[in-house]
Structure 1
Amino acid sequence: MKVPAAPRLLPGAEAWADARLGGIRGITLGPIESLRHAGRGYGTEASARALDETTALGASWVSLTPFGRVADLAGTGVDLVFEAPFEDNRRAVLGATAQAHARGLKVLIVPHLWVENGEWRAKIDPGDDEGWARWASSYRRFLLTWAEVAAEGGAEMLSVGVELRSWVTTPRAESFRDIITDVRKVYPGLLTYSANWDDVEHTVIFDDLDLIGINAFYPLAEREGASLDDLLAGGRRVAGQVEQVAQAWGKPVVLTEIGYTTRRDPALRPWEWPDGMKDVVVDQRAQAEAYLGIIAPFLDARFCAGFFVWRYYADPDDVSQEAEWGFSPRGKLAELVLRDAFTARWAADGAWISGDGAGRHRAWTPGVLGWELPMEGWERPMGGF
């Protein structure tokens, strides 16, 4: 499938809504690219089931996240091989993209970096000018390779990077701008960059892109035991900060990742990785209320094109990918909040057309679609819908 040229967005933070492209109701499908999990990753029958669930949830977009391997923060280069040979992963991503398109979903491809020693990619520092030049050359090869895959598969959007703070918030960003120029030559679709929530205001490359991307793991609370009202107030505060970024650049924002773990007080430090947690109290309601807190204010925000949930997996039945208290909302109360949000009318959808909302459903049981009575002990999420 040949990717169509990117839709022309006029200047302005509300350009996405003005173009009536539809709010981005997105799900991230994490890869399962290990040879030990044959038949479970992108492009398999398992991912077809995951995409069926994605459409049933009401999503309109899916994010696919192929990885490249980086040894450590010295930034000596990016290895295209990750868990399986690159050619296998390339075919898998193309297969998953085709599966998504067959279901009417649009696709964001997010080439991601996995740092082998467990450090955060935002701190990569090759040192001197020569080291940075080597790093930029290697990253260019990595990104252009996946840009060509995105173009071949017809993906509608591409993220040119994820949380590369040490590069794109500094004078070194000029070398990154050169890479974006090269990407435009091989990929005609929409471009974004996935900035971390706490450095997006210092990221200097957004004038070269179509949308401002944010991995939006903003804290919504300042203390343990925060109430739903506290979380909603935190969400409104976050939305105000994001609007300032959108207005400053004159471009719409897409939240390239939002997510909360299934534990007590997940909105206090949302970025904490579940693998390192101990003595966790599993709390589905806390996860659901955190989702409600972050989503609610953005549904009325014309400057926000939408968001991608972090995350579901390419094999919906493989529970080995994370602990019970992990990020996935699948089959949990948070899934009800997402389903209700996805079937609501958003400001990002553009001007209202009479009858546009006819036949919308509300669901109360994870995995069950349709009109249902509320489950006992759970108030209707996002009751304003």
Structure 2
Amino acid sequence: MKKFGWFLLCLIPICLLGQSSEKINGISFVASREGVAQEHVAEVIDLNANYAAIMPFGFIRDINSPVIIFNTDRQWFGETKEGAMQYIKLLHDNGIKTMVKPQIWIWKGEFTGRLTMHTEADWKILEDSYEDFIMTYANMAADAGSELFCVGTELARFVQLRPDYWHRLIAKIRTVYSGKLTYAANWDEYDRIPFWEDLDYIGIDAYFPLSEEKTPSVAQLKAGWQEHKDRIKALYSTCEKPVLFTEYGYRSTDQTAWKPWLVDRHEEPVNLTAQENATRAILEEFWPESWFAGGYVWKWFIDHKQSGGERDNRFTPQNKPAEEVLRDFYRRY
């Protein structure tokens, strides 16, 4: 019996090791006018983050325009190929892995999910332009050794109306990039994506509505998560792909979990507790789950000392109570 008991005891660490996997404790590293410096990366390390999303940008004139303008000398340094490469190198030098997540900005902040063409000719122009955009950064991600690549962000209409194009595009990306792939689906489109089987992660920008309360408690927020969480887990079970929150986060303002996707510059009162509670709730609900890969908090500015703070009602958790919640959870996971 003693020998058998010792055998079981020896197996326990092996079993636990087999079941454990590194969570992606990520930040969305906002592109800046300047290059990133060691002092900026030191703050990421201090947060216990192990991944950063690097986000070069392309620009479109309006939701019916088919041409993407990108990697120009009129853009901020961090939005370009050169800037993204510089960010990735310094992060990698410090042991922080990266996800390259090219994004589109439509003039006046129009929602990218509404990007739609009216003619087949314009669809073809858009497809060629997007392929040029995304393959530029897929090749860059390969050259830089980036661990993860996001093939698109919140492009619901484009995805739903041109599914064959996306299957072909993902296959082409695989020919130049050997890392893991995901797509950043908006919270209200993730269950209609036709190509999850082509990717390695189900990616969701997790701005789910949870509560209309001014300052919801952690318990109220966790209750608000349950229906959404069940649907997300059901998709995981169907696709057998781990779930990754390609973006998650809350503004430090009243009713932060009612419509978390709002990005307008409204002057709602600062509410640090609401942001802190919402951050704690999402971490407690998802990070312990074996089918959940992790996520990237939205958003983290490279100049930490000048970012966020107690008077800021925007998304960043920097220099707010929510930052301490993240630091603690990222340390544990």
Say whether the fold is shared (TM-score over 0.5).
Answer: yes
Q: 1:115 maps to what in 2?
A: 106
Kindly provide the amino acid, as one letter, of the partner of residue 250 in structure 1: E
- Residues 1:261 and 2:267 are matched in the alignment: no
Contact map agreement 2:307 2:319 (CA 8 A) in 1: no
Instruction: Confirm whether residue 58 of structure 1 aligns to residue 48 of structure 2.
Output: yes
Change (3 A) 1:146 1:86: farther
Does residue 186 of the first structure (1) align with residue 176 of the second (2)?
yes
Match of 2:10 in 1: none
RMSD: 2.1
Q: In proportion to residue count, which structure has more helix?
A: 2
The 1:334/1:110 distance shift into structure 2, 3 A limit, reads: same
What displacement does 1:223 show?
A: 4.2
- Matched to 1:197, the amino acid is W
* Aligned counterpart, 1:296: 284
User: 1:249 offset after TM fit, Å?
Assistant: 1.1
Q: TM-score when scaled to structure 1?
A: 0.77
Q: 1:199 aligns with which of 185, 189, 203?
A: 189
Question: Cα deviations across residues 171-230 of structure 1 (Å, max 9, x unaligned)?
Answer: x11111111111111111100000001110111111111111000011121444433311
2:31 aligns to what? Answer: 31
Report if the CA contact (8 A) 1:58-1:339 is conserved: yes
Distance 1:285 1:224 in 2: 10
Contact 2:31 2:79 in 1 (8 A): no
Give, in angstroms, the shift of residue 264 of structure 1: 1.3
Distance between the aligned counterparts of 1:157 and 1:105, measured in 2? 12
The one-letter code of the counterpart of 2:293 is: A
- For residue 5 of structure 2, what is the aligned residue in structure 1? none
Q: Name the residue aligned to 2:208.
A: 218
Tell me: CA distance 1:283–1:88, structure 2 relative to 1, closer, same or farther (3 Å). closer
Q: Is the 8 A contact 2:32 2:78 kept in 1?
A: no
1:336-355 matches, within 5 Å, as: 336-345=324-333
SS at match of 2:203: strand
Partner of 1:360: none
- The answer to whether the aligner puts 1:326 opposite 2:317 as a matched pair is no
Q: 1:56 to 1:86 in 2, by over 3 A?
A: closer
SS at match of 2:274: helix
- Residues 73, 119 of structure 1: 8 Å contact kept: yes
Give the drift of 1:245.
1.6
2:122 aligned with 1:131: yes
Superposed, 1:1-385 pairs within 5 Å as 20-33=20-33, 40-41=34-35, 44-45=36-37, 48-81=38-71, 83-84=74-75, 89-170=80-161, 172-275=162-265, 277-278=266-267, 280-319=268-307, 324-345=312-333
Asked whether the equivalents of residues 261 and 274 of structure 1 are also in contact (C-alpha less than 8 Å), the reply is no
Q: Structure 1: how far apart are the matches of 2:139 and 2:19?
A: 26
Q: Structure 1 pair 204/315, CA: closer, same or farther in 2 (3 Å)?
A: same
CA contact 1:288–1:333 (8 Å) conserved in 2: yes
Aligned sequence identity (%): 29
Quick check: 2:252–2:270 contact (8 Å CA) kept in 1?
A: yes
TM-score by length of 2: 0.89
How many residues are paired up? 314
- Which stretch shows the higher mean deviation, 153-162 or 286-295? 286-295
Letter in 1 for 2:321: L
Q: Which structure would you say has the larger RCO, counting Cα contacts within 8 Å and 6 or more residues apart?
A: 1
SS in 1 for 2:256: coil
Change (3 A) 1:256 1:101: same
CA distance in structure 2 between the partners assigned to 1:260 and 1:143 by the alignment: 28
Q: For residues 145 and 20 of structure 1, do their structure 2 counterparts lie closer, same or farther at Cα, with a shift above 3 Å needed?
A: farther
Query: Residues 30, 208 of structure 1: CA spacing in aligned structure 2 closer, same or farther, 3 A cutoff?
Result: same
The runs of 5 or more residues in structure 2 that have no matched partner are 1-16
1:155-182 superposed Cα distances (whole Å, 9 cap, x missing partner)? 0000000001002233x11111111111
How far does residue 325 in structure 1 lie from its aligned partner after superposition? 0.6
Give the unaligned 5+ runs of structure 1: 1-16, 34-39, 346-385
**Secondary structure, aligned partner of 2:254:** coil
Contact 2:216 2:277 (C-alpha < 8 Å) held by counterparts: no
CA distance in 2, matches of 1:85, 1:57: 25
